[in-house]
Structure 1
């Protein structure tokens, strides 16, 4: 009971820490996605002048530790410019690091679009922006979502390291809870449940985006069908689903 009493007494601080973790995860995830689109498109470009700088940036941030990037942004960068606050440093480091990984997912997904689709856009004399917006990217979007989901969950867990620059996020508050309880209750129970619930929200949210993206391409059920409690029967081509009706729901025609 002492552990639960300590948990209740520190609940406001734990919530503040979790809220900070949520802010870091959402803002950094959004910025990482923007960077991933920019560098992913540039890395897959046939133009060397775009591809080379993108590859250098991607490999640099993928090849160096997030911890080192945090220290560099917080302690070294101020030697050459203004001091950034801890929250900005945390968002910047997470965005750059995971944006570099996500850029590879974007590049790979775009290059995975069938060659015939690219040839069709050329035959229709589409501009680069038009064919990317209407033909190529919608197909690549459905392909990259599973990888982006995994990276966003990793970003959530990676955000726990920002306490080293002075941010009292969820992991920091869990460590404070451990001082008045024990490591098992604080980390293996409270921390495990907290991070699991946050990861579950991300996973389900991204899953719904994937369902919608595939449905728009005619490759799966709609969001309404997925969220419906009514059973569906997958028939026909294109992966569309249909609810059983009439005699079919009663064992088929007599």
Structure 2
């Protein structure tokens, strides 16, 4: 056990970087998903088509290729990002594109009668969206959003390929030094799983809180 615990410090250092990349990417992905998902539903072409292009490009191409483009190709055009910033940008954009479809589906899932009632009450479209549609849609968004956050966490392993010393990168270095492949990657699995459980717990807590608030309003 003592030998096993000696492997933890460098892995925990890598986990801190993984959590930083995950958190930064989530902070970028959430507003992007909401904005692109709503614009995707717009009747105004100048708003809808850029949203469609963003969603389809980032969903239809490899996250790894996107990462290499931002980190290795953009500098050829004079646009350079630090490695960790490039990782956050790419993972945030990638997850935001998938999240936009979650937002679109949840908004479309709100009963048409709710909108018709809002029109009858002379509510503006923005007021209807903010006070009636989004509060109901958020509850439907949370479970798939939790899945996307966990997928984002797992995709952070890609950033090890652009020299970021995340959990996977640290594990590879440690394995090269000690050749203790089974113990090292066993610990890595446990650490990823523990973080995924935390994300799942946080999403379920939000679901319960929203359900209680809806119950109180009812």
Normalising to structure 1: TM-score of the pair?
Answer: 0.81
Structure with the largest fraction of helix: 2
- Partner residue, 1:183: 181
Structure 1 or 2, whichever has the larger Rg, is: 1
Take 2:114 and 2:13, find their aligned partners in 1: how far apart are those partners? 48
Take 2:131 and 2:59, find their aligned partners in 1: how far apart are those partners? 30
- Partner residue, 2:40: 43
TM-fit CA distance, 1:82: 3.2
TM-fit CA distance, 1:51: 1.3
- Partner residue, 2:104: 107
- Partner residue, 1:27: 24
TM-fit CA distance, 1:101: 0.2
TM-fit CA distance, 1:214: 2.3
Aligned length: 216
Give ranges in structure 2 of 5+ residues lacking alignment: none
TM-fit CA distance, 1:10: 4.2
Of residues 149, 157, 160 in structure 2, which corresponds to 1:160? 157
Of residues 129, 143, 157 in structure 2, which corresponds to 1:146? 143
Take 2:191 and 2:134, find their aligned partners in 1: how far apart are those partners? 35
Take 1:80 and 1:126, find their aligned partners in 2: how far apart are those partners? 48
- String of CA shifts for 1:25-84, please: whole Å, max 9, x gaps: 111012101100010000011222211111111000000000000000001111222321
Give ranges in structure 1 of 5+ residues lacking alignment: 223-237, 239-254
- 8 A contact 1:178–1:185 mirrored in 2: no
Root-mean-square deviation (CA, aligned residues, Å) is: 1.5
* Greater relative CO (CA pairs within 8 A, separation 6+): 2
1:154-233 pair list within 5 angstroms: 154-179=151-176, 180-187=178-185, 189-218=186-215
